[in-house]
Amino acid sequence: MKPTGAARIAGVVGDPIAHSLSPSLMSAWIEAAGINAVYTPYRVESEQAEAFFRVLARTNCAGLNVTLPHKQTALAACDDASKAARAIGAANLLTFRDGRIHADNTDAAGFLNALRAGGVDPSRGPALILGAGGAARAILYALVEAGAPEIRLSNRSRANATAMAADLAPGARIHDWERRDEALAGAALIVNATSLGLSGSGDLVFDWSRAPADAVVADSVYKPLETGFLRDAAARGLKTIHGLGMLIGQARPSFKAFYGVSPPESVAAEDYLVSLLEASR
């Protein structure tokens, strides 16, 4: 169905945004569902983000997905928020109604869905999270809720990691970024929640010989699908999980929030996105 003036409008906002696969995925779901709707990417600088949210809330836009670096600003701009968004301190989903902004966070559930789809029990052992931004906060929240027995955190700013732990996991162990290899010992799950590796922005390097042979390594980055972080871990024989699972997991409830219907099962979301990534190489 071609969109008309009555189309239901939503989108995704970030900076950068050209790498995002969300418009392609959402558009594929819209086409398969046969609904009158559009989904648009918006690149907005940090200084303008809050004003952008408030202006768009007064238009016919149904809402926005929010990606780096605006997730904490999105929460600050809201009129009300879900329990998850408040606890995490960041929002990746904004819905608009009568000029008001409601914030939610579907990243946490999306991450857990990705782990479980990969046959990984998030409660089976110590987890190391790298980063302290919006994605890291969602992943930390998810692992605490899932019962991870030990949490380790490492971030370039130790102060930010300490603050995140105080909010969500007071018992977490903080490891200096320069000595992050030491946190691999005994870890069952290692997660990159930084933007390192995104579209060739620089790889996250580890001495994987320090990780247990049965450790699982996950990345929140999905472009490229195999980051240097995952490639090096796989070369060591470790199981890896790319970022598409988290992307798809958080996108499903967003689609329903925007358009009032669930994404059609006729779209094989991961296969579709993998094909797009391969075609763009």
DSSP string over 103-155: EE--HHHHHHHHHHHTT--TTSS-EEEE--SHHHHHHHHHHHHHT-S-EEEEE
Q: For residue range 242-254, list pLDDT tens digits in order.
A: 999 999 999 999 9
Rg (CA), the chain: 18
Supply the pLDDT for residue 274: 95
Q: Which amino acid does the sequence have at 240?
A: T
pLDDT over 80 (residue 48): yes
Please confirm, yes or no, whether 2 is among the known catalytic residues: no
Supply the pLDDT for residue 37: 98
Rounded CA separation 187/225 (Å): 23
Mean pLDDT of 118-126: 95
Supply the pLDDT for residue 281: 73
Q: For residue range 176-231, list pLDDT tens digits in order.
A: 999 999 999 999 999 999 988 876 667 789 999 999 999 999 999 988 889 999 99
Mean pLDDT of 163-188: 97
Mean pLDDT of 93-99: 97
Mean pLDDT of 234-242: 97
Q: For residue range 61-77, list pLDDT tens digits in order.
A: 999 999 989 999 999 99
Q: Which of 2, 71, 223, 256 is catalytic?
A: 71
Question: What's the DSSP call for residue 263?
Answer: P
Supply the pLDDT for residue 200: 64
Rounded CA separation 229/222 (Å): 12
Side-chain-side CA neighbours of 249 within 13 Å: the count stands at 23
Give the lowest-confidence range in 138-142, 209-213, 276-280. Answer: 276-280
Residue with the two structure tokens 């109604």: 97
Please give the mean pLDDT across all residues of the chain. 95
Supply the pLDDT for residue 170: 96
Mean pLDDT of 161-165: 97
Q: What is the pTM of this model?
A: 0.89
The secondary structure element, H or E, covering residue 239 is: strand 239-241
Confidence of residue 235 (pLDDT cuts 50, 70, 90): very high
Residue with the two structure tokens 């009129």: 79
Confidence of residue 111 (pLDDT cuts 50, 70, 90): very high
